[in-house]
Structure 1
Amino acid sequence: MDAMLIIALVFTVLILVLIIKGLMIIQQSEAVVIERLGSYQKTLSPGVNWIIPLVDKPRSIKVRRYQAIGGENVAVVQEETRIDRRETVLDFPGQSVITADNVSVTVNGALYFQVIDPERAVYQTENLIQAIEILAKTSLRSEMGKMELDKLFESRQEINDKLQLVMDEAGNKWGVKVTRVEIQDILIPTEVEDAMRKQMAAERERRALVLRASGEREAAIAKAEGEKRSSVLVAEGKKEAAILMAEGQRQAIDQVLAAGNEKLDPQLVVGYLLGLEYLKTLPEIGKEGDRIFLPFEASNVLGAVGSIEALLKGPSK
């Protein structure tokens, strides 16, 4: 009886030990891949789980951790059985890239990924972090090698989108979702940077010259347009003045002819009016010197004036 009790107690203790040893508490956003006798059995989800001790065994996965060594954070690869399903950042160091115009630049960036299928993450690649990093580097060289240096700085977001597409497609078979890729820095050689700085200065100077020339051209066009309008207005003024003068002369001729009872020769009247205009200009001519030279035709004009005045006064009594 005592022997049976001891056996029962031992059996009970063994059962309790097995139960306790088989209990596994999985934290939120974690997963554990369980193998039974070397083959995949199941994936443990967050909460309380139980496995068969000595038969079921968690499968480890390689992860990268940073440890403070000598005052610096050093990346260390470790093997862990718990798979972190949260978004993880992979900061890969600077990579040398040759652009399409044969310029060597150094590029570093960061990649954000999340494990969505722990089974694939464990079995589809021997070292998940290393596989992602190598693929990111090769994809980065490939995409940036298709572009010239000037376009790299303008197309950073385009490069990010293409890298994310390539990485996400490859990551699916590894059970990984690449959420985003970011190019952090693009470092160029000093001599290339100096050349680009000079090129930018020359480009700014060229644009300034173009703007200055454009302004001068517009100013010249505006000035020419103003002179054109001014000439048109002057011509229109002269035209109207000539019309008014002709109208005034016509009215004067009509008045003279009316005063002469239509017995006067119109040509003689015109000569008379011209003579009057000529006489009006003599005072102005006299202001310019102490001598006045009259052309020979002036006597004819003055004679016409006298004839008309005589006719208008009528015969003397």
Structure 2
Amino acid sequence: METMVSPGLILSLFVVAMGIIVIIKGLVIVRQSEVMVIERLGTFHRVLESGINLIIPFVEKPRAITLIRYQRAGDDYYPVTSEETRIDRRETVMDFPGQPVVTTDNVTVRINGALYFQIIDPRRSVYEVANMSQAVEVLAKTTLRSVVGKMELDKLFESRSEVNNDIQAAMEEPASKWGVKINRVEVQDINMPEEVEEAMRLQMAAERKRRATVTEAEGEKSAAIAQAQGQKESAVLNAQGDKEAAILRAEGEQESIRLVLNALGEGEDDKQTVVGYLLGQSYIKALPTMAQDGERVFVPYESSALLGSMGMFRDLAGSPEGAPLANEALRTGAVSGAAAGSASS
């Protein structure tokens, strides 16, 4: 006995199978930090966020976005293009290869940079630009040439952060039209011609030598100032000592004259005796120094003056108070006379 399958059952099974297929095709799971741009019959319909979503198969379908990534093989980079229906909204890094750039002082350098960007508006990233990643890359390269082309080579090395900020600021406005946010730009490597590197090494060596010379000169200057300061202080101390010695000598002579006056009295003859004593003592003390400036010196001999002085010494010796003074004067005079005689001969 043959079993007959009714057309209704076949239709029901077909409907169930089609339903399962529709559910499988229409069920879309979007992962965290990803979105999908959905088109209905070729026009934009909506953006699917993370989670479980349902679409109408054969009527709605995701729109793919073109992305370019660079892979490194040795020292070279080569691009890899991919079509992706899931748009990643996380921050993405694009390490584009080195670009030749000419500075204002006509030096050609090769700069390798990294670009960090993030898709903020997926709809605009798909519909406002044909190839979003390529557009961002070309914008970064042209902006890099524009910014670096306004700088000299030395300034480029000194202010990399300034270059990064200028490139980022210049890219923000055009990138925002594509729904892309430029987070930061980093200049990685700056390669120069060999002759420029050699010239910079020579310049660096000369600069270090100049700094060493300046440091040495400053040290010598400080030492000279310290030495001059020491000599100045020494001269001041010597002058102070000479001044105090002269004051003490003057005070001693004043005290000596006072003692002589007290010993002889206050009469007019006594004062003349003291004056003659002082003149005779000075005359005798000057005899040794009269022959220092020449080999032979002829000194006029005035016996009356010298004898007068000797007489005054004798008068002093006759008094008890003046005896010590007269003996001291005669001793000094005898020594000075002997020295003068030796010098004149």
Instruction: State the TM-score, normalizing by the size of structure 1.
Output: 0.87
What is the CA–CA distance in structure 1 between the aligned matches of 2:95 and 2:128, rounded to whole Å?
22
RMSD (Å), alpha carbons: 3.1
* Superposed counterparts of 1:89-238, under 5 Å: 89-238=93-242
Counterpart-to-counterpart distance in 2, 1:69 and 1:96: 20
Choose 143-152 or 199-208, whichever is displaced more.
199-208
Q: Of residues 250, 253, 277 in structure 2, which corresponds to 1:272?
A: 277
Secondary structure of the corresponding residue to residue 174 of structure 1: coil
CA distance, structure 2, for counterparts of residue 294 and residue 189 of structure 1: 91
**Residues 270 and 69 of structure 1, relative CA distance in 2, 3 Å threshold:** closer
Q: Does 1:12 align with 2:27?
A: no
> Does residue 253 in structure 1 map to residue 257 in structure 2?
yes
Residue 304 of structure 1 aligns to which amino acid in structure 2?
S
How far 1:306 moved relative to its partner? 4.1
Given candidates 240, 244, 249, the residue that maps to 1:240 is: 244
Note the C-alpha offset of 1:8. 2.9
**Residues 253 and 266 of structure 1 are in contact (CA less than 8 Å); yes or no, is this contact kept in structure 2?**
no
The aligned length equals: 310
Q: Could you report, residue by residue, the CA deviation over 1:255-308 in whole angstroms, capped at 9, with x for unpaired residues? A: 0011001235556535534655776899x99xx9xxx98944786467425404
CA contact (8 A) 1:113 1:177 kept: yes
Q: Deviations over 1:121-177 (max 9, x none)?
A: 111111111111111111111111111111111100111111122223322111112
State the secondary structure of the residue aligned to 1:203: helix
AA paired with 2:43? S
Query: How many angstroms apart in 1 are the aligned matches of 2:307 and 2:249?
Result: 22
What SS class does the counterpart of residue 56 from structure 2 fall into? coil
Query: Is contact 1:272-1:301 (8 Å) kept?
Result: no
Is 1:304 the counterpart of 2:309? The answer is: yes
Q: Letter of the 1:37 partner, please give it.
A: L
Q: Is the 8 A contact 2:69 2:94 kept in 1?
A: no
The amino acid of 1:149's aligned partner reads L
Aligned to 2:330: none
Runs of 5+ unmatched residues, structure 2: 321-345
